[in-house]
Amino acid sequence: MKDPLRRKHTLIIDLEKLNTLNAEGCPACGRKFTLGEIAVLASGPWEGGPRVVHESDAVWDPKTNTFLERKFYSLSDPVRSAPAGR
């Protein structure tokens, strides 16, 4: 991941984040996070701004320079579809 804009929204799950985030799990897929996993700050159908989700749950939107939750991304503009291979 070379794009500095993307890197700003990307984080690695450390022990502290693990304890905080796994109280609820991932808001996108409901699974727990694991130590050392890549996660991103993404906007989604939830309220209260960007939340931490698994990298694979999110799609980078170059238009807004933010990650969007995958389902939210395709819903927000039905014409485009989520890019494959992530």
In our burial notation (b when 16+ CB lie closer than 10 A, e otherwise), range 29-62 reads eeeebeeebebbbbbbeeeeebbbbbbebbbbbe
Say whether residue 57 binds Zn ion (CB under 5 A): yes
Of 18 and 29, which CB lies nearer to Zn ion in the complex structure?
29
Say whether residue 26 binds Zn ion (CB under 5 A): yes
Say whether residue 13 binds Zn ion (CB under 5 A): no
Stretch of 3-11, 27-35, 58-66, 67-75 contacting Zn ion, by CB under 5 A: 27-35
